[in-house]
Amino acid sequence: MLLEFKIKNYLSIKDELTFSMRAPSKTNHLESIIDHGKDQGYTTGLITGANASGKSALIEGMITALATLRNCTYFQPGMNIPRIVPFKFDEVSLNSNTHFGFIFIADSIKYEYNFELNSHKIVSESLYKYTSAKKSMIFERSNTNDYVFPQHLRSSLNDIKNKNTDNKLFLSTASNWNCQETIIPFKWLINNIEIFHSFIPNPSYIIPEDIKTKKFILGILKAADLNIVDYSVKRQRIIYNDIQSKEIQTFNKEVGTVIYNEKETFVNVITTFHKIKNKDGKESLLPLDLREESAGTQKMFYIALTLNGILKGKTIIVDEIEKELHSHLVEFIIKLFNTQETNPNRSQLIFSTHSRTLINDDLFDHEQINFMEKEEHTGTTTLYKLSDFSIRNNLNIEKGYNVGRFGAVPFIKYPGIF
């Protein structure tokens, strides 16, 4: 379970922001609570704001933090660390480090992991765990190469630190050298957080065809009222040489979802089946290539496919979740995560949206609704929650947001020619 993500000096985010999924002791949506003693979290969190307010910067920051953790083991000494873009509208920030931090629960233990870096090196890094109310250190790193370890880990970690380089995260290096204290938090961060700009799967994704997967996907499609009663998947194999490569790959975009490797291409051709009745009342199944379905139906199919692998305790982040989806389908997805029966493993869904209809008390506690706003004159992004406001019980939240009571809406200035 993700409890907090911290970010500082990245893209439009100058000052430290904390995005929190923590839940208070009192809630109006008990089923959306993940209970871990004193550390209660939400299954869903909403981020909204005007265009260019910093929503994508927050998500891109998390992508960069996780990508650095996942990929730094392959960095050669002296290689620059990619994707590090500090706040550029301030000279001090431009020449300062970027900071990322996570607080999360993995295997029933709470961890806190932070690191500070620039495009050349890791400047500082720390990992703590909580076995009581007080956190205990697993390691601390400062000035790039100054390390501090607790006494019981000193011998093993001193040996591993000599294998680390300036541009690698020690959490990754220690885990790859089988340090048992770091493996659990490392694996949770690289395997349990997934970020989507689209629910279309990776081209190398092989669609499972087992009965359990099919039952889940068809159940989601039926609940979404899409009238799809079955589907089939065929994988077409195409061999190509270097000369044909570009032409084949262009052609494959017209065939289906493409899977590449060095010598061949596989294409997933998905067929959906609809149950229809003729004028005499006789039923039959009508096959359709998935690409013949509406954009919303296609996306819902891939959402169902994705959810099948995610509703197992993972945390997913989706940018602009409402793209090509009716608002009722978006609410349906949110309720899947918020309901104990459909989300028994307490997976988390964090998403950005421009939809005003989602900002309401029926779906969320005020602590779940996050606003992002960019200060006009400095270009800096701020983040705050609806719960930061004093709101009377009978206030229409959506209406209050629309009229600008909570900020985070565009202020349109019409040109003089109008």
The answer as to whether 307 is a domain residue is no
**176 and 230 both lie in a single domain:** no
pLDDT of amino acid 259: 46
User: 282 exposed, middle or buried (CB, 10 Å; 0-12, 13-18, 19+)?
Assistant: exposed
Q: How many domains, in total, are found in the chain? A: 2
Find the domain containing 216 and state its range.
Answer: 203-302
**169 and 224 both lie in a single domain:** no
Per residue in 178-224, pLDDT (tens digit) is 999 999 999 999 999 988 876 665 555 678 888 998 999 999 888 88
**101 and 35 both lie in a single domain:** yes
CA angle at residue 56 from 52 to 61, to 5 degrees?
A: 130
The answer as to whether 251 is a domain residue is yes
Per residue in 283-312, pLDDT (tens digit) is 889 999 988 888 888 888 888 888 888 888
**59 and 133 both lie in a single domain:** yes
- Read off the pLDDT of each residue in 245-249 and give the average, rounded to a whole number: 47
By the 8 A CB rule, do 372 and 47 touch? yes
In angstroms, rounded to a whole number, what is the distance separating the alpha carbons of residues 36 and 33? 9
Is residue 6 over pLDDT 60? yes
Considering only residues 114 and 341, tell me which one the structure prediction assigns the higher pLDDT. 114
pLDDT of amino acid 268: 78
- Read off the pLDDT of each residue in 388-399 and give the average, rounded to a whole number: 63
pTM (2 d.p.) = 0.83
pLDDT of amino acid 400: 57
Per residue in 333-349, pLDDT (tens digit) is 999 999 998 899 999 99
**142 and 55 both lie in a single domain:** yes
Question: Of 272, 302, 332, which residue constitutes the final position of a domain?
Answer: 302
Q: Which residues pair with 234 in a beta bridge?
A: 269
Per residue in 129-147, pLDDT (tens digit) is 998 889 999 999 999 999 9
